Structure 1
Amino acid sequence: MKYSLNPDREDLTLLQTTIAKFCENEIAPYYEEWEENGIFPRDLWKKLGTAGLLCIDIPEKYGGHEADAEMALTIPCGITYANFGSVAVGLSVHSDIVAHYILNIGTEDQKLHYLPKMVAGQLVGAIAMTEPGAGSDLQGIQTRARKNKDGWVISGAKTFITNGQHADFVITAAKTNPDVKGSSGVSLFLVDTSADGFSRGRNLEKLGLHSSDTSELFFDEVLVPHS
């Protein structure tokens, strides 16, 4: 069965066929086991990339297909319609949220480095805002970033972070000026998970979407260089 947003579009029909075949061959035989394990395997990201199902609306310059919003929405909707919501959630965060932060506010060097690898599934992205003591209230976050001669040093903790176990980098919200109220005192940092001081906590158990990895993340004096 295929999910159809617009049955009159031939390109959407072809995409829906691709999604249905991918789900049948690469997800359905293993999904129950993944749900029991609480995470789907890392190589699924590369398979999604090879199938052209990641970051489809990113410009061609950065490896994408410049698809419109309707095509981009068809992918997570189609995977969810096939009852594989855990995969759809992680994919949507990666493709529809993280990639567009980089596209819209990243530097040109960041776009050229991260976006083609996100399209290919070689790099997995996450976004970290929610905290143990603040929920998603960004005005109440306790993660701090202080500036020194080498860059910004981040300290704090995040929780309920989708793709947290697989992520190669995390767009992280931190307070850069605790004395300023509201969003003016909060900044976003692109943190590579290979950085010293970064660590992953538990892969959290949930009532549903079990194989969508949802994690605690810790930042212990993590340096984000100026360049």
Structure 2
Amino acid sequence: MKYSEISHFSHPQHNLKFEYTEVPFKCDGCKEVGIGSRYKCAMCDFDLHMHCAIPSPTIYHPFYTKCSFKFHSRPPGDKSRYCNACERDVTGFVYHCNSCGYDLHPCCAKLPMVLDDGEVQLYLYRKVSAPCHKCGRKGRSWSYRSTCKKYNLHVACVKEMLVENWHELYFGRGKSRKLETRIPSLKNTLQTHHQQKSKGKVKKCCEMAGMAVQFVISAVLGDPTALIAGVIGSLMSAA
């Protein structure tokens, strides 16, 4: 449920107002990049993902049927922790399972099990034996894979792509910065996988892969909507 204005324990000074933005932001809760829906304090430039602003006290995930994840405002314990979905460090809000020690960023914990725009359908897997189209490795982190099994993307690789392109967002607030940095295309990678295909088939394959990566990126950013996917898609390299 969306509320137009909320109070939040992490920012007691002012209420946070719901807004929709096409400008990337760094969430002050989980410390990860976001886009689209957020709760914001305009006076303090304080932002929270939807999943961080209205967290569930406890969640269960189909990948870990024996686990109960509880919400924490900071990583528990003294040791450094990383998210089991994307492999990135946990430095803020987190869902943690005491019994197994697993950790999930709030947005990673809420990644849709299926992404479907009517043309491309992607399913979330804990591990996939096929190589990732970005890094070429098998296994590793959670992955989104198409029903045709041609497109496979690690959630970890998508996060790395975002860091590579929007690195400054992790160290500066990027005020008034529009979506100007282009996200790398998978076209060249896919051409190496499909060298025997005709140019027309390769082009179609790359277009489908481009659509797939748009939706995975928008899901990882915390807002898997067609609008955001379209905005991101317009920035992807055509080369």
Name the TM-score, length of structure 2 as normaliser: 0.28
| Greater RCO, 1 or 2 (C-alpha within 8 Å, sep 6+) | 1
Q: Which one has a larger percent strand, Structure 1 or Structure 2?
A: 2
Q: Which one has a larger percent helix, Structure 1 or Structure 2?
A: 1
Name the TM-score, length of structure 1 as normaliser: 0.29
